[in-house]
Amino acid sequence: MVVRCWREEPCTVIHVVGDLDVAGAPRLRAELEQVLTAADPLKVVLDLSEVPFCDSVGLGVLVATLNQVQRQRGRMILVLAPGMIRHLLTITNLDRHFETSDSLREAHASLADAA
């Protein structure tokens, strides 16, 4: 798994490439912890458009991150391609809790409009 992170006002973008599974989840969790402690106000775009697979450990990282963002009164948008992760969120009813977008540009615009 490759995780890249950069600041793109008004948010922090985290781009993930590879499987979000038991092997990759600790790498993403570590990157997210740094972002969540440094960002103020907390606005995060988590680009998972190049993540073909997510297991229960990866899903746990996403849920824990969402909970932390909400506790900090922040906002997080997941960028998702059609496929496994979008389906996983739907069948677990988590699609009702996560804000999603079809593109990085759309997510960024949504956060910029709310600023």
Taking only the tens place, the pLDDT of each residue in 15-49 is 999 999 999 999 999 999 999 988 677 899 999 99
| Residue 67 within any structural domain of the chain | yes
Percent of the chain with pLDDT strictly greater than 90: 86
What pLDDT is attached to residue 115?
59
- For residue 87, give its domain range: 2-104
18 belongs to a structural domain: yes
Kindly state whether residue 7 falls inside one of the protein's structural domains. yes
Number of domains in the chain: 1
76 lies in some domain:
yes
Q: Per the domain annotation, does 111 fall within a domain?
A: no
Residue 90 — pLDDT band, cuts 50, 70, 90? very high
pTM here is 0.94
Give Cα separations from 101 to 15, 26, 77, 78, 105 (angstroms).
14, 24, 7, 6, 9
**Domain annotation covers residue 21:** yes
Give the pLDDT band (50/70/90) at residue 112.
confident
Kindly report the CATH number assigned to the domain that includes residue 16.
3.30.750.24
